[in-house]
Amino acid sequence: MIKTDILIIGAGPTGLFAVFEAGLLQLKCHLIDALPQPGGQCSEIYPKKPIYDIPGYPEVLAGELIDNLMEQIKPFQPGFTLGERAETIDKLDDGTFVVTTNKGTKHHAPVVAIAGGLGSFEPRKPILDNLAKYEDNGVAYMIKEPEMYRGKKVLIAGGGDSALDWSIFLADIADEVTLVHRRNEFRGALDSVEKVQHLKNQGKINLMTPSEVAGLHGKKTLEKVTVQNVDTLEETEVAVDHFIPLFGLSPKLGPIADWGLEIEKNAIKVDNSYDYQTNIPGIYAIGDVNTYRGKLKLILCGFHEATLMCQSAYQRIYPDKKYVMKYTTVGGVTGFDGSKKEAPKAVVKSID
């Protein structure tokens, strides 16, 4: 039985930052994640994708953000159960919880924080007869290492931010980039649409709209695709090394949906007037996995929610103690390993 103060389900950026905020309160955390490494989607799906809305970082790669968060929480020595999915939860007579994974690992804590992002997810795949034949042989549903596409011919399908952003990014890496979308209009950011148009005019992106991929060809690995214009039905064969359909993810809460939590549109309803607690006292939901009026699925919003959740968790664990918040610029940061980052001393100067 693994025992901790706060059991965090999900080791994405929100879950990791919760460790830091809990550590400032001297609360120990343990994290469960079905993925084999911390970081959630930032590590598994787009580690090399730039993020632009993290305060203090004009631009940071998703994987780099996770590396920084891991370094930030190192003094608080969190535990990890990776490669296992939180399967069941049992509430004991004393109000604490036992969470058991699909591999039978049991975790005991007075507070559970669900930070599962979009939950378990699967890529939305195009309907093509021989698609499975080319999976891992030219067809991929996410880009983990852009360098593998250097000097290659890449065809991306999709009309959202991911399709636009990766087309722009790979334009300087791949030998040839083709972007296929079934409509003339894109769902992504206007700035990205304009960049794609600019790269098309420069001859760096081959834009095919309104079109869709209608066939895949190749003996063992993918060699070419058939692209069909949805208006004229005219077909064009395009030589490619890689086909990357980016149609988004199909999120599922998984076993968490059966825990008796109040669910709305595949997300967990929480009380955002105070602490992001669910309808079950002692269970919180933070980050993209929760929903409330005005909810924005942004990493920085998850950081805010994690901070307030930890304050509430402290009061739940220590109801007789009064916590007085101290700014880290005043009190510094003291790790569980005895390390301490001292706050700078105030300098007093006399006035002549």
- The predicted-structure confidence for 238-288, as pLDDT tens digits, reads as follows 999 999 999 877 667 788 989 999 999 889 999 999 899 999 999 999 999
Residues 154-173 pLDDT 10s: 999 999 888 999 999 999 99
CA–CA dist 301, 295 (Å, integer): 9
Residue spans of the domains in the chain: they are 2-121+249-341, 125-245
**Which residues does 54 contact at the CB level (< 8 Å), separation at least 6?**
60, 65, 299, 300
2-121+249-341 and 125-245 share one fold: yes
Local confidence band at 319 (pLDDT 50, 70, 90 cut-offs): very high
Chain-wide mean pLDDT for the chain?
Answer: 90
Own/partner pairs, 195-203, CB within 8 angstroms, 24+ separation: 195/164, 195/168, 196/164, 196/167, 196/168, 199/167, 199/168, 199/171
Candidate from 179-188, 256-265, 331-340 with smallest mean pLDDT: 331-340
CA–CA dist 180, 47 (Å, integer): 24
* Residue 152 neighbours by CB distance under 10 Å: 16
Q: What is the DSSP-derived secondary structure letter of residue 56?
A: T
**Which residues does 267 contact at the CB level (< 8 Å), separation at least 6?**
253, 288, 289, 290, 291, 295
What CATH number belongs to 125-245? 3.50.50.60
Residue 20, classified by CB atoms within 10 Å of its CB into exposed (0-12), middle (13-18) or buried (19+), is buried
pTM of the model: 0.66
CATH superfamily placement of domain 2-121+249-341: FAD/NAD(P)-binding domain (3.50.50.60)
Cis bond before residue 210 (omega within 30° of 0): yes
What integer pLDDT is reported at residue 189 of this predicted model? Answer: 81
